[in-house]
Amino acid sequence: MAGDYSYYGSSFSFSTSNSSSNVVKCPGPSTAIITGVSVMCVVGAFGIVSNLALFLIPFLMKAFRTSPNALVTNLALADFLYLIVNAPFSIEHELFPCFQFGLIMCKIQNGFTVTTQAVTVFSLTAGAIERHFALLSRNPQSTSWNIVIFTICTIWAISLFLSIPTVLASHTVRDILCVPLPLFETSAKLHETLRFLFLYLLPLVIIAWCYTAIFRELQNSRQLTSKIYQSRHLQQARKRSAFVFLSIITLFAVCYLPYFVYNFIFHFLSELFGDSNRTYFVTLDVLRVVSQIAVFLRACLDPCAILIISTKHRRAIKRMWNTLAFNLRGAHSSQRAG
């Protein structure tokens, strides 16, 4: 018996001999895919290093242990984990579409995709709310450190909880395809709809409301300073923090939009076109690749947005780099002397 199976734009041929052994033919990578993956690996390496550096800054420098920096650190941790857990599977899938890591890794990969997305959007929402109250409140004191830690722990707990349905639903098809949801079933459509609402649309509405209020007040800096009795230096620092979060939020909104567009088209329209419509599935696969690259780039570009806007973070990164270079030179000199 022989048959073809299409999933996410890739075609797989199966044949079963009289001895009931399955022979699977998986498509190999093209030159364009290899080139694209090579670029992604370089960008990904930069993203891993830069997010790790942002994550370590508050632990090495006490001045960065503030409420907004704690949420930025949480974002960096989520991006770092995404790049070392999820991104390698995505890159490997482009090179070899057949999934080779078994059911457990299939569940971990798909569950962690939901977790990191939830941590990102909830941290951005918490950051927008914190900036809203910090800039508009008459009380110049920042949010309590205990409250921030509790918020971060709650974000991770909720995010892990939200990933449970995906972990339970993830399965392999013929041990070569990792499928996160039942294909084209009502449960999959409901899951993607709820994920879009609670991990994209509603958080962005809350964030937009917070920043609309912030920038409405920031239109007149003199009146704002008079209203909340803060020094100009503190006011400018809080403005910069608001712009840091706004830049990351913009990246999130733009980069995750293709992902949801692709998933809605895949789950809601694929049955209407059928496997025979080659043009549709080629177009869908292009959208899939674009959505994956966009999410991948977001995790790598978040540190760039922070470093471009925040002078303090640039100085901290430079200081960390100089310290690391000095220690490496010292270790090298000691080895040569020995």
3-state secondary structure of 79: helix
**Rounded distance between C-alpha atoms, residue 276 and residue 60, angstroms:** 58
The pTM for the full model equals: 0.80
**Rounded distance between C-alpha atoms, residue 206 and residue 133, angstroms:** 13
Which structural domains are found in the chain, ordered by start? Answer: 29-326 (1.20.1070.10)
The sign of the dihedral angle between the CA atoms of 89, 253, 135, 234 is positive
3-state secondary structure of 172: strand
**Rounded distance between C-alpha atoms, residue 126 and residue 241, angstroms:** 13
At 332, the pLDDT band (50, 70, 90 cuts) reads low
**Rounded distance between C-alpha atoms, residue 148 and residue 150, angstroms:** 5
pLDDT for 15 beyond 60 = no
- Lowest mean pLDDT segment, chosen from 18-22, 266-270, 282-286: 18-22
pLDDT for 166 beyond 90 = yes
Q: Once rounded to an integer, what is the mean pLDDT over residues 95-113?
A: 87
3-state secondary structure of 186: helix
At 31, the pLDDT band (50, 70, 90 cuts) reads confident
Helix-helix angle 67-85:278-309, to 10 degrees? 140
State residue 3's pLDDT score. Answer: 40
Q: Once rounded to an integer, what is the mean pLDDT over residues 70-84?
A: 90
pLDDT digits (tens, 9 = 90+) for 83-93: 898 888 888 87
The order of strands in the sheet holding 10-16 is 2-7, 10-16, 22-25
